[in-house]
């Protein structure tokens, strides 16, 4: 029998999706499952998207240019300018979601064996892209007790070796909701410049910053054109997850030119997705003001209720729509599976993502879950009712 590739076995299962069979089985038994495991917003996309599709008169759906439609790239330039970030359309490579932008970044910038420093916990798919490309992730630990604050620069320096090629952050962070400050970004910029490293930021949650805090992009850093790469996406920003449109943005011309080779190999980013994304970018500020206000209500509800539960600890996130909570349990994987297979409250239960999958090893985060507060307040309350009751009766509770 032919053998599969070694990389196949190094690819981790998604902590966000691996319990889906148990959720499907629960639904087949008549249970309602509240999905707080995945960042799929229930917020309506901008009305401009529907209007754009209603006006379409396509005879066929043709290939888009490999780097994206020029009209869409021009819209991206205008969008960035509204955030006081000056780029040109030649700095943009349109991709099939932010995931492909990450993949192109790994393929373009790293050789197998190169090291990439990432604060953890981090978005689980970073491990997958690293495994697929032979990149070695070197984690630097941020802790729940500190609110997942950025570790000190000397801790980063201790991890740098001759094989270190880059530092990557997600800002605001998935899974923690931590928002890196302007000063922290500047410190990372100095460190990357000092050691001539790529500095990469996944900024897909840029719009979602709360409590008066503002997002500071890597692209705002002066004299970092050759070092900085930003990954972007419309998925969460406009509730267009299925449109699969993202972007790799960098003023490093080599990154864009070489990344285009991979873009050409996959032919084109989604045609219909770009039409949707371009239309969405015509929505006004009121859209985001309403969306942010809704997420603040959801965050405040979730954090308050979690911290009222005996033995539960949860910091207050400043961005995105996720938080990580520590529970009085033995193992979050077992607990999340038990919630779906063995527990219900009024024929309802809830699905979370075990947080261990957001760490570089399976030991860290064993008692933690990631919660995506992407449901309306009523559903969030019911989901948290399920969690509260489940923690009282879970057979492997640890106080």
Model confidence at 14: pLDDT above 90? no
Average pLDDT, integer, range 357-378: 93
Q: Give the model's confidence band at 197: pLDDT under 50 very low, under 70 low, under 90 confident, else very high.
A: very high
pTM of the model: 0.94
Average pLDDT, integer, range 306-327: 98
Q: CA 84, CA 274: separation in Å to the nearest integer?
A: 23
Alpha-carbon dihedral sign for residues 384, 331, 324, 311: positive
SS3 call for 127: helix
Q: Which residue has the tokens 């888009």?
A: 64
Cβ-count burial 366-381 (b if 16+ within 10 Å, e if not): bbbbbbbbbbeeebbe
Task: Report pLDDT for 16.
Answer: 65
Average pLDDT, the chain: 95
345 close to 394: Cβ distance less than 8 angstroms: no
Give the distance from CA 270 to its chain's centroid.
Answer: 20
Query: How many other CB atoms are found less than 10 A from the CB of residue 57?
Result: 4
- Assigned CATH for 6-44+286-393: 3.90.1150.10
- Give the DSSP letter of residue 4: P
* Strand duo 92-95 + 246-249: pairing: antiparallel
Tell me how far CA of residue 239 lies from CA of 57, 133, 181, in angstroms. 24, 30, 26
Cβ-count burial 305-316 (b if 16+ within 10 Å, e if not): bbeebeebbbbe
pLDDT one-digit tens code per residue, 48-99: 999 999 999 999 999 999 999 999 999 999 999 999 999 999 999 999 999 9
Q: CA 243, CA 77: separation in Å to the nearest integer?
A: 20
Give the distance from CA 263 to its chain's centroid.
Answer: 22
Cβ-count burial 205-221 (b if 16+ within 10 Å, e if not): bbbbbbeeeebbbbbbb
Give me the percent of the chain exceeding a pLDDT of 90: 93
Task: Report pLDDT for 8.
Answer: 78
List the alpha helices (DSSP H) in the chain.
6-10, 20-28, 47-54, 70-82, 97-109, 125-133, 153-159, 182-195, 253-265, 271-280, 285-308, 332-341, 377-393
Average pLDDT, integer, range 316-344: 97
pLDDT one-digit tens code per residue, 17-41: 789 999 999 999 999 999 999 999 9
Average pLDDT, integer, range 313-339: 97
SS3 call for 97: helix
Q: Which pair of structure tokens corresponds to residue 10?
A: 């190094």
Beta bridge partners of 371: 323
- Ramachandran region of residue 370, left (φ > 0), alpha (ψ -120 to 50) or beta? beta
Model confidence at 10: pLDDT above 90? no
Q: CA 368, CA 266: separation in Å to the nearest integer?
A: 37
Torsion of CA 236, 103, 117, 202, to 10 degrees: -20
pLDDT one-digit tens code per residue, 215-260: 999 999 999 999 999 999 999 999 999 999 999 999 999 999 999 9
Q: Give the model's confidence band at 15: pLDDT under 50 very low, under 70 low, under 90 confident, else very high.
A: low
Residue spans per domain, the chain? 6-44+286-393, 47-280
Q: Which residue has the tokens 């990149």?
A: 135
Task: Report pLDDT for 155.
Answer: 96
Give the distance from CA 346 to its chain's centroid.
Answer: 32
* Domain covering 47-280, topology: 3.40.640
Give Dmax (Cα) for the chain. Answer: 63
DSSP tally for the chain: helices H, then strands E:
13, 12
């Amino acid at each position: 029998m032919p053998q599969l590739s070694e990389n196949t076995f190094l690819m981790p299962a998604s902590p966000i999706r691996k319990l889906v069979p148990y959720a499907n089985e629960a639904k087949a038994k008549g249970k309602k499952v509240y999905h707080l495991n995945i960042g799929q917003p229930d917020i309506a996309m901008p009305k401009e998207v529907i209007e754009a599709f209603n006006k379409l008169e396509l005879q066929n759906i043709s290939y888009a240019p490999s780097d994206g439609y020029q009209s869409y790239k021009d819209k991206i330039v205008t969008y960035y300018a509204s955030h006081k970030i000056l780029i040109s359309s030649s700095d943009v490579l349109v991709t099939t979601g932010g995931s492909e932008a990450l993949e192109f970044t790994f393929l373009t910038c790293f050789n197998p064996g190169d090291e990439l420093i990432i604060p953890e916990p981090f978005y689980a798919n970073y491990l997958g892209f690293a495994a697929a490309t032979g990149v070695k992730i070197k984690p630097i630990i941020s802790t729940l007790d500190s609110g997942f604050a950025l570790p000190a620069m000397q801790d980063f320096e201790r991890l740098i070796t001759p094989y270190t090629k880059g530092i990557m952050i997600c800002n605001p962070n998935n899974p923690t909701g931590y928002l890196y400050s302007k000063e922290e970004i500047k410190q990372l910029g100095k460190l990357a410049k000092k050691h001539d490293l790529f500095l990469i930021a996944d900024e897909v949650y840029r719009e979602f910053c709360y409590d008066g805090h503002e997002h500071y992009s890597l692209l705002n850093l002066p004299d970092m054109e050759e070092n900085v790469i930003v990954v972007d996406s419309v998925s969460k920003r406009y509730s267009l997850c299925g449109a699969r449109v993202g972007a790799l943005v960098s003023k490093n011309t080599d990154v864009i030119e070489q990344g285009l080779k991979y873009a050409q190999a996959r032919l084109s980013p989604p045609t219909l997705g770009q039409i949707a994304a371009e239309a969405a970018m015509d929505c006004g500020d009121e859209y985001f003001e309403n969306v942010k206000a809704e997420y603040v209500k959801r965050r405040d509800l979730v954090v308050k209720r979690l911290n009222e539960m005996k033995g539960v600890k949860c910091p207050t996130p400043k961005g995105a729509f996720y938080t990580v909570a520590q529970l009085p349990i033995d193992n979050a994987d077992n607990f999340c599976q038990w919630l779906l297979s063995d527990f219900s409250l009024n024929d309802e239960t809830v699905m979370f993502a075990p947080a261990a999958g957001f760490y570089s090893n399976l030991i860290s985060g064993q008692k933690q879950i990631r919660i995506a507060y992407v449901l309306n307040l009523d559903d969030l309350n019911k989901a948290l009712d399920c969690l509260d009751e489940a923690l009282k009766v879970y057979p492997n509770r640890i106080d």
